[in-house]
Amino acid sequence: MQSLKQAIFSLLKSTGIDRSVEQNKALLLWDGVVGESIASNTEAQEVKHGTLIVKVTTPVWRNEIAMRKKDILSKLNEKLDNPAIKNIRLI
């Protein structure tokens, strides 16, 4: 007999929802990945089709994050079970 955790994982995988669940973990990981200064000036809002949408407080922070985007994507995907986030969109 399967454990409840295994049964839920199997259900998510068979329906294709596991990818969405993995992508949405990025919302919870955002603050820890980017650090306190960026986290206090941003808010990870949602994930759409592999793109993490982040609200930024000022154009200066938008520019800073844009310059660090590749590194942030790498760190986020490293923390996730698989590379679920393909891009970051700053708003």
Q: What angle do CA 54, 91, 27 make, to 5 degrees?
A: 10
Q: Determine the pLDDT at residue 57.
A: 96
Q: Determine the pLDDT at residue 76.
A: 94
Cβ(53)–Cβ(45) below 8 Å: yes
pTM of the prediction? 0.80
Q: What is the mean pLDDT of each run of 10 residues along the chain (91 residues)?
A: 79 73 86 96 94 96 96 94 89 95
Q: Determine the pLDDT at residue 28.
A: 93
Q: Determine the pLDDT at residue 38.
A: 95
Give the start-to-end residue ranges of the domains of the chain.
Answer: 20-90
Q: Given this structure, which CATH class describes domain 20-90?
A: alpha beta
Q: Determine the pLDDT at residue 32.
A: 95
Cβ(24)–Cβ(44) below 8 Å: no
